[in-house]
Amino acid sequence: MLGAVKMEGHEHADWSGSGYYGETECYTSAGNMNSMSSYMSAPGMSGAGHMNAHYANPVGVNHSSMHCGGSQGPGAMVQAAVGMTGLGPSMSSMSPPPPYGSVPVMSPVYGQACGIRSREPKPYRRSYTHAKPPYSYISLITMAIQQSGSKMLTLNELYQWITDLFPFYRQNQQRWQNSIRHSLSFNDCFIKVPRLPDKPGKGSFWALHPDSGNMFENGCYLRRQKRFKSGRASGAGEKEGSEGGSVTTGSTRSDSPHSPSSTSPPADVKGTGVDPKARRGELLPPSPVRVPSPLAHTQHLFSHPPYHPPLLLHEAAHLRPDHYPPHYSFNHPFSINNLMSEPPPPRPEPAVQYGGYGCPVTGALVAAKSGLDPAHGDSSYYRGAYTRPVMNT
DNA sequence: GCTTGTTTATTTTGTT
DNA sequence: AACAAAATAAACAAGC
């Protein structure tokens, strides 16, 4: 029964090479690239490579080696992927959220946008706007929060951000929004920040756990290698996650806060756990006196585990890796941090921001800022997603 | 009443 | 195949 529903959920062949691009010739030289599973499982090549092939190519990243990855060997693919990362402006450098930069790429006419196919643009029956972005909900949430000026968003803002960026999510809203909420609640990497008294409204703010910064260190936004668990487990116990907020292994269920085996109350699930009310990491009401900014108080409250003051990424960019705080590896080419390597500008007005995948303006802006061709203004959107996941150590 | 948030259960998908 | 992460569904409570 559920199966049927599930199938419905996958009604969009999404990013499978053949599903949306009409043909696979361009992307499937590896031999097994014509299926979803090929995304990240092609032998010898990074999953990232695959994904990149699907996403980046169209983008106009124009790496000839890319669509022929299979034939040219893993090396070529990886190289292409890496090269791609360097192409576009960083996510953060774009005015609108990162994906916006990819706009030109995501354009429905994206077939043309794809440099590789420029010689004979073919009409694609289905556009990217219908394709499900290759990001997990956790990734989406993370990106949204990261790109926000205050580094925290309300649920509604999250919804807005996602729908603005990904037309795919303008449909079946109930479904994915429920998933978003579930992700927020379920994952320790997201923390709830109460609204300030002077900012009444519905819902709390959601922020990233300060130590969750390396969640996507492996560059794979589709699937984390390990789930982030707040370091401070209930009581003194923390059979796991003892690494203080690092991603830890663990079965979805057994580790889950709500795990049957878990006798500990949900209160500390996210590590903030002291106050029953602050279950699952909800922060205590901020102290207006001590913390001027919403984020500041967040940081303050989360400072038990070694909290590293956020570096402005553009600042971090000037640092050598050994200067980075332990949990912020900005230097990783596919790191989500790297993806959003600069403090994003304040969220633009919806009217401006909107434009889905195909807002040329954004691309132009990005290009203007980055000095790159708008056509390449996307890479940041995809570049990180498909690198071979690397185990965090 | 709607939105937000939590929790449980199940299924799907990717990795080892 | 086993395991783990993610997606999905749904029930429920609380707050606005």
Q: Is the pTM of this model over 0.85?
A: no
- Tell me which amino acid residue A234 is: S
Please report which confidence band the pLDDT of residue A229 belongs to, taking 50, 70 and 90 as the band edges: confident
Cβ A178 to strand C below 7 Å: yes
Q: Encode pLDDT of A278-314 as tens digits.
A: 343 444 444 333 333 333 333 333 333 333 333 333 3
pLDDT > 90 fraction of chain A, expressed in percent and rounded: 9
Q: How far is the CA of A258 from the C1' of B7 (A)?
A: 7
pLDDT at A159 over 90: yes
d(CA A16, CA A91): 24
Mean pLDDT of A164-169: 88
Closest nucleotide to A202: CA versus each C1'? C16
Give the closest residue to A281 by CA, choosing from A238, A337, A229.
A229
Closest nucleotide to A40: CA versus each C1'? B14
Q: A255-282 burial, b if ≥16 CB within 10 A, otherwise e?
A: bbbeeeebebebbbbbbbbeeeebbbbb
Cβ atoms of A290 and A283 within 8 Å: the answer is no
Cβ A8 to strand C below 7 Å: yes
Q: Which residue has the higher pLDDT, A168 or A103?
A: A168
φ and ψ at A193, to 5 degrees?
-115, 115
Closest nucleotide to A6: CA versus each C1'? C8
For residue A199, the number of C-alpha atoms closer than 13 Å in the C-beta half-sphere is: 14
Q: How far is the CA of A178 from the C1' of C10 (A)?
A: 10
Q: What local confidence, expressed as pLDDT, does residue A122 receive?
A: 42
d(CA A285, CA A193): 8
Closest nucleotide to A229: CA versus each C1'? C5
Nucleotides of B under 7 A from a protein CB: 3-16
Q: What local confidence, expressed as pLDDT, does residue A167 receive?
A: 86
φ and ψ at A38, to 5 degrees?
-70, -15
